Chains A and B, each alone.
Chain A
Amino acid sequence: MKLVTRKRMVAAAFIAAFIVAFAALGAVSKSTTVAGGVTTAGQVPYAPWYWTMIVSPSDPKVLVLGTSNGLYRSSDGAKTWHPVGPKGVNMTSLAVAGNSMFAGGVPGPNPVIRRGTGRTAPDGPAVLTVSTDGGNTWKILHPSGLPNVTLQALASDPAKTADLYALLNSGKLYRSTDAARSFQLVSPKIGAPPWALAVTQDGHLVAGDMDSGGFTSANGKAWQKTPFTDSAGGKMVMEYAVQPSDPSHVVMTSVGILKSTDGGKTWHLALKSRTMFGPVAWAPSAPQVAYAIGFDRSFWRSSDGGDTWTQVS
């Protein structure tokens, strides 16, 4: 009886050890997958303009890139890219809201026009599309309340998954609270040149462009200019990305890359570089991981919440 008990105890110990080891292996494997994402990228496809990028909420290796040549999708951590979505559309905007990906833009090959002292996407009819399968297929939307005018930027609210902001190239700002089925006017003209837009903590907004710098707003109606200096001593804003797990943390591409920890009120240089950067995105399933693309087609990664950046292609 005593011997049987000892055998059982030994067997139980083996089983317990096996379970612990297996669980530990699983945990390691799981954390490696999440923290992995893009580690060695391939060549970014050439396009006349790089606008924006998003990462799948569930897989840090699935990325969608918005360019003046349309959308490109990678499912292997930016090693290879394939065109997806409607053809012939200058895709200025991408946003993730809930489990849906939204893309917007304007038809035509011309990427950017000069408008006064700034620049925007060219005038034309709006294109708004949605993907519910991780960016594989895209369906054109015709929401009520949104004028048929070039979509300059889309932005989702990290705190409200059904909310989606649409900035037109005229400067008009709209918001949807029903996952892009309908839109309502927020502001007839935002207090920043229509270019890049993001929603930070408590529904606050940041906006800016290449020539005038950055601005913040609590409601989309009143805007304050935010001082910062990019790598070249200028005030260029190319694109924003808001950290999903902490919307007060924002990265901004420019000449180099800047980071804010107060929702875009103040900025510090995270990557000093002579290169002009464009698309930037957080990986929602790996909260400390963010990616950025330079206009020299280089691909960069941050694994520490946007504080430091490493070139991976």
Chain B
Amino acid sequence: MSFYASEHAMRAERVLERADLQARLVPGPREVSPNCGVAVAFVWEQEPQVERALTESKVRFEKIHRYELDDSLSTAGTVVQ
């Protein structure tokens, strides 16, 4: 999930954690978003809950991308950022 500003990404991470959804800040691949450099990675299977939680908390995000990461989150499923 990409953002227009890094503080939005940090807020999104906090909101998702409070909603018991796996999420964390990651460097945003350049082909995904050049805006603020940082993105939030989450488990793809939880995409509807993630979008709902952020919308309800009025956290502004740019776009949701499907993107596989080579790290611990990707073992839990396909990850987007």
B-side interface mostly: loop
Number of A-B contacts (CB under 8 A): 71
Which chain A residue shows the least CB distance to B41? A48
Q: Are B26 and A49 in contact (CB under 8 A)?
A: yes
In chain A, residues 230-259, which have Cβ atoms closer than 8 Å to a Cβ of chain B? 232, 234, 236, 255
What is the 8 Å Cβ interface bit string for chain B, positions 42-81, against chain A (1 contact, 0 not)? Answer: 0000000000000000000000000001111000000000
Residues of B in contact, count (CB < 8 Å): 24
**Complexed CA–CA distance, A297 and B26 (Å):** 11
Q: Which of A99-107, A109-117, A133-141, A197-205 contacts B (4 or more CB under 8 A)?
A: A109-117
A7: B residues at CB distance < 8 A: none
Chain A interface residue count, CB cutoff 8 Å, equals: 29
Find out whether the CB atom of B5 lies under 8 angstroms from the CB atom of A46.
no
Let me know if A77 is at the binding interface, CB within 8 A. Answer: no
The reply to whether A276 and B24 contact each other, CB–CB distance below 8 Å, is no
With both beta carbons as reference points, the residue of chain B lying nearest to A236 in the complex is identified as B6
> With the chains together, A50 CA to B26 CA distance in Å?
9
Least CB separation from A122: chain B residue: B72
Known A274-B5, A296-B27; contact A109-B37, beta-carbon cutoff 8 A: no
A274 to B24, CA, bound (A): 19
Q: Is there contact, CB below 8 Å, between B71 and A295?
A: no
Binding site for A on B (CB under 8 A): 4-7, 10, 17, 24-30, 33-38, 41, 69-72
